[in-house]
Structure 1
């Protein structure tokens, strides 16, 4: 048996990063992508406002062209924002009224969650955007539709300076929150050991997930840069029923999907 086949016998699978996405995707009815700080949190907040979101792999000039071609607003890096620009900060989008400003489409570049979402969609997989804010609602949505078909979960992780994958604990917890919604009181025999480990990691931290998120490496990094509000927005567990589903290149609310 190869590593790529290791979770193939399980109904619910979990892994990390782009390669992990390739491993859990085959045969899956849905794959949940989790990037808590901050892609899927920003995505969830935007879709809550009725904004269609196009995930984009690269943060370069090509993103400007894509946004212009689709008549969309481009989200820029927090530190690069000028007057009137939207950033990748979920707090900035939460506090904005984009629809009132005539914005109904947003391009979100991200080398982690966004790139993984596009990678999965290109492989023909139905992608669900999951954050702590909507993990319960997303799990219920998937459970109602997946039946006995497999479900994959991908923790996007972050990057070390050399470009290698850095497993990020906030994504483990976000994945676990989604898996907790799928599992009910306890994981059944359909959960891979990897999926069960993510679930129990979340259950262990859930009573204090907000403070744990603030003190995580990613949380401390954002707070150090002056974006403590983004961490607070990300730590709001179960506050929305919106379920971003990637359809024809754009994330839309699952309630509007047929």
Structure 2
């Protein structure tokens, strides 16, 4: 694989979406997945409550079979929540739902990236835990040229299935990278420097999450509470690490 596409020689790297994750994963020690609205925000909410979260790349019959094998509850779509199936990709719904020891949380963006990552430690990050993630990564020795970190902004999807880069994930990734830099990790690729600069110079991150295209879509659909939870900056100190196929708190 071409070194230029892997951002080699840098301790902290940045890319977009599943293709970017595939490109960088093999050459790093840790892959940080950022999907602010809403996979990684939902992961923080669930893991805080003591739930182990299994990522899964799609919500279909195979997800149902996987949940049965894992003896886990299965998250449904936001609009499909019922008393019998109260868990969904909505962090607000997860806060209200009964406790589940294990949860399968499918999504085509952040969850798909996490589920397919191989060879690297995988961490779920959002605006809710970005500072804690950066501190943990640095304390664990990640983010150096010898043990590089790739921060992946999951992005959203256009109707034709193409990647739609999203402001909320750019800000979330920038928050993680800024935290890494604050904890002494300065070997940032140019690609990683850019989202950190966007985050640190943003006058109103919370307002931007609500006013950006993804936030407006959710608010218009009746999910303003999800947007508000996603903007709870540094409200969480949990660092979800993919361990034996499920996200659990970092040791």
- Give the whole-Å Cα distance in 2 for the aligned partners of 1:82 and 1:96: 10
- Give the whole-Å Cα distance in 1 for the aligned partners of 2:68 and 2:228: 32
> Which residue in 1 is equivalent to 2:130?
135
- Give the whole-Å Cα distance in 1 for the aligned partners of 2:40 and 2:115: 13
- Give the whole-Å Cα distance in 2 for the aligned partners of 1:226 and 1:185: 38
Could you say if the C-alpha distance between residues 17 and 239 of structure 1 is closer, same or farther in structure 2, counting changes exceeding 3 Å?
Answer: same
> Which residue in 1 is equivalent to 2:213?
217
> Which residue in 1 is equivalent to 2:164?
166
TM-score, normalised with respect to structure 2: 0.94
- Give the whole-Å Cα distance in 2 for the aligned partners of 1:111 and 1:181: 27
Does structure 2 retain, via aligned residues, the 8 Å contact 1:187–1:196? no
Alpha-carbon RMSD: 1.7
Does structure 1 retain, via aligned residues, the 8 Å contact 2:12–2:185? no
Shift in Å at residue 94 of structure 1? 2.0
In structure 1, stretches of 5+ residues that fail to align are: none
> Which residue in 2 is equivalent to 1:87?
88
Shift in Å at residue 38 of structure 1? 0.3
Deviates more, 1:49-58 or 1:66-75: 66-75
Could you say if the C-alpha distance between residues 151 and 131 of structure 1 is closer, same or farther in structure 2, counting changes exceeding 3 Å?
Answer: same
Does structure 1 retain, via aligned residues, the 8 Å contact 2:30–2:123? yes
Aligned residue for 1:197, secondary structure, equals: helix
- Give the whole-Å Cα distance in 2 for the aligned partners of 1:233 and 1:174: 13
1:251 to 237, 247, 250: 247
Could you say if the C-alpha distance between residues 96 and 78 of structure 1 is closer, same or farther in structure 2, counting changes exceeding 3 Å?
Answer: same
Aligned length: 247
Does structure 2 retain, via aligned residues, the 8 Å contact 1:8–1:24? no
Shift in Å at residue 32 of structure 1? 0.4
- Give the whole-Å Cα distance in 2 for the aligned partners of 1:59 and 1:185: 38
Does structure 1 retain, via aligned residues, the 8 Å contact 2:32–2:150? yes
Aligned residue for 2:234, secondary structure, equals: coil
Write out per-residue CA displacement over residues 162-207 of structure 1, whole angstroms, 9 at most, x where no aligned residue: 001000110000000001110018973x1001100010111122x4
- Give the whole-Å Cα distance in 1 for the aligned partners of 2:236 and 2:183: 22
> Which residue in 2 is equivalent to 1:114?
111
Deviates more, 1:41-50 or 1:80-89: 80-89
> Which residue in 2 is equivalent to 1:126?
121
1:196 to 190, 193, 198: 193
TM-score, normalised with respect to structure 1: 0.91
